[in-house]
Structure 1
Amino acid sequence: MNKGKWFGFRFRIHILFWVVIGLAVLTGHFLEVLTLFVLVLIHEMGHVAIAKELGWTVSEVQLLPFGGVATMEEAYATDPLDEIVVSLAGPFVNVVMMGLSFLCWSTGIWTEEWARFFLVSNAIIAGFNLLPIWPLDGGRIVQAILCKCMPYRRAVLLSMGASTVMAGTMLGISIFEAQISLLLIAMYLLVVNIQGFVRFPYQFFRFLMEKYVRQPEEGEVQAISVQPEETVIQVSRKLRRGASHLVYVQGTGLLPEEKLLHALLFEQMHDTEVGQLV
């Protein structure tokens, strides 16, 4: 992969991108394929712009043969509503460009054929990214909504499980319909979600660590009621994204979230009963 660093984040181009460009040249569709990749890049920059406006750290933008991915450092413990806004920014940019194509056609700047190609391309990019499959924008939105309704661990595992099923279904359809491009996309999404399950223990640790670091910033406070015999690790699985918690240990008292996380992350008290921490 080609790597570079622009505007404070890494920019990577997958090697298969150049293969696609080469095939486009050979088949006489270079301008169309190049336009699609530029539109994907602009889509990703929409995410980057809003993420930076919210104070997030963008670590990488990767251009794939069939799309792009922007990686944000703060995508774990921040408010789920911020995640929804960032996820919608990319499709919103495509909608704006759809309006631009109509304007350029109506004023005679573009031909009807080119304006239609530009409009349809943006519609496909926006529509595809809004599919409810993680890590697409739609999948991130679904996961953020679930995080608003339930503990982080359960929300992520549920969304990834649903995404795996949908990616597998897409794979089956692509095989039945003999659609090579859809097959490659479905395989990529399926592999990414399987990797997500494998890496989730690390992701969950990142979530807990970010919550501990962000304690002074989180405004919303939620109460959790637990039994005194529940362990520190069991209670940590009930924590939600974008909020701090007061843990009410029944019959014992209140346990601040900071103390719970410190015991888990720095004192290795995973299996200690929370009743002993009050």
Structure 2
Amino acid sequence: MNVLKAIPPIQLHPVLLFFFLAAYLTGAFTEFAVMLLIVCIHELGHVLMALYFRWRIEKIMIWIFGGVMKTAEHGSRPISEEALVVIAGPFQHVLIFACLILFGNYIPDPFLSTLHNANMMILLFNMLPVWPLDGGKLLSLVLASILPCRKAHTFTIILSVFLGLVLLSIQLIYFSFQLTSICLVLFLLMENRTEWKQRYYAFIRFLLKRPVMQIERVTETRSGHDERLLIILSKIRRNRRHIFIFKEKNNEQRVHESELLKAYFSSGSHDKTIGQILARRN
């Protein structure tokens, strides 16, 4: 694979302009440039690992403390594979620290200190369990391994917003006013607000990709005849294939998830109960 052809044009987030102006006006342009360089190295880790697994990368967006790599594979690959793509970004900081130790004697002390502090700051910031940071993505993957996909996604956003509000409160109460820190937290809260508004569409996208997912583990899930089809599909977990068992009196029916997905996306079935769908099936 030609790596250069596989990487789409890199876009700069509009918020980056704000930090560029702030760095210029405060005389901190060197620190800004160093942080931007480290962010690009960080994002390169995600990209290379994604390309290794042959992910289709749609867009790379860079902002001051991180970046966002949009792919067509989100939610459709194994959790372990997606975790490796996420971890590949923070791992770049370990390599940067190793380089600073090996070649630190050749770097002027003030600049070496700037590199070290920026690298540590970006690493710690990205590991916060707040969506869409790497820590938030790892939190989402952990929840997805033990909870249904839709519930894991919802809990991730709720926990991210809660922690974001805690960070904002701590900043306002215990630390001196820093516009940069407050803007970062507000930016994360806005990202989670957008993710919350799009959570239903994210779930439908997940359901559409289910047929092509390579999943070996099968589990049986019991549901009632009076439950609506969407509620039943909301019990699907990323790392399992589901066989749903519906029991009414002495009659028990087993239905593979693929049949329910087909019924959901067919016209006139998405708002019906499973009892109605099974009755029509029989």
Q: What TM-score, normalized to structure 1?
A: 0.89
Residue in 1 that maps onto 2:185 = 186
Moved beyond 4 Å, runs of 4+: none
Secondary structure in structure 1 of the residue aligned to 2:77: coil
Q: Is the 8 A contact 1:59 1:71 kept in 2?
A: yes
Q: Structure 1 residue 138: deviation in Å?
A: 0.6
Indicate yes or no: 2:129 matched with 1:129.
no
Aligned mates of 2:19, 2:31 — CA distance in 1: 12
Structure 2 counterpart of 1:232 = 229
1:104 aligns with 2:103: yes
1:52 is matched with which residue?
51
Pairing partner for 1:244 from 241, 246, 251: 241
What does the per-residue CA deviation read over 1:190-217, in whole Å, with 9 as the maximum and x for residues that have no partner? 11111111111111111111113x15x2
RMSD, aligned α-carbons: 2.0
User: Is 2:239 the partner of 1:209?
Assistant: no
Match of 2:259 in 1: 259
Deviation at 1:86, TM superposition (A): 1.5
Contact kept, 8 Å, 2:65 with 2:122, in 1: the verdict is no
Using the TM superposition, give the Cα deviation of residue 23 of structure 1 relative to its aligned residue in structure 2, in angstroms. Answer: 4.2
**Offset at residue 19 of structure 1 (A):** 4.4
Q: Distance in 1 between matches of 2:70 and 2:148?
A: 23
CA shift, 1:26, in A, is 4.6
Task: Calculate percent identity across the aligned residue pairs.
Answer: 26
Counterpart amino acid of residue 16 in structure 2: F
Shift of 1:134: 0.9
Q: Could you list the per-position Cα deviations for residues 206-244 of structure 1 after superposition, in whole angstroms to 9, with x for gaps in the alignment?
A: 1111113x15x2222222111233221111000011332
Please tell me whether the aligned partners of residues 245 and 257 of structure 1 are also in contact (alpha carbons under 8 angstroms): yes
* Most deviating of 247-256 and 237-246: 247-256
User: Does structure 2 conserve the Cα–Cα contact (< 8 Å) formed by 1:246 and 1:256?
Assistant: yes
State whether residues 83 and 140 of structure 1, in contact with CA within 8 Å, keep that contact through their aligned partners in structure 2.
Answer: no
Matches of 1:204 and 1:16, distance apart in 2 = 28
Q: Aligned to 1:138, which of 135, 138, 151?
A: 135
Note the C-alpha offset of 1:273: 2.9
Count of matched residue pairs: 270
Alignment partner for residue 221 of structure 1, among 210, 218, 221?
A: 218
- Give the whole-Å Cα distance in 2 for the aligned partners of 1:170 and 1:144: 22
* 1:51-89 CA-partner distances (Å, limit 9, x unpaired): 222222221111124432222221123222222211111
> 1:15 & 1:198 partners in 2: Cα distance?
21
Q: Deviations over 1:2-39 (max 9, x none)?
A: xxx97442421123424433443454432321111011
| Alignment partners' CA distance in 1, 2:95 and 2:131 | 24
Cα drift, residue 148 of structure 1: 0.4
What secondary structure does 1:241 align onto? coil
Distance 1:37 1:192, change over 3 A: same
What aligned pairs does 1:76-115 form with structure 2 within 5 A after superposition?
Answer: 76-105=75-104, 108-115=105-112
8 Å contact kept, 2:229–2:271: yes
Per the alignment, residue 67 of structure 1 pairs with 66
Paired letter, 2:70: T
Counterpart residue number, 1:171: 168
State the TM-score, normalized to the length of structure 2. Answer: 0.88
- Opposite residue 71 of structure 1, the aligned amino acid is K
Q: Which amino acid aligns with 1:189?
A: L
SS at match of 1:228: coil
Unaligned runs of 5+ in 1: none
Aligned equivalents of 1:79 and 1:109: distance in 2? 43
Deviation track 1:150-169 (CA, whole Å, cap 9, x = no partner) reads 10111111111011111112
Q: Distance in 1 between matches of 2:228 and 2:23?
A: 58
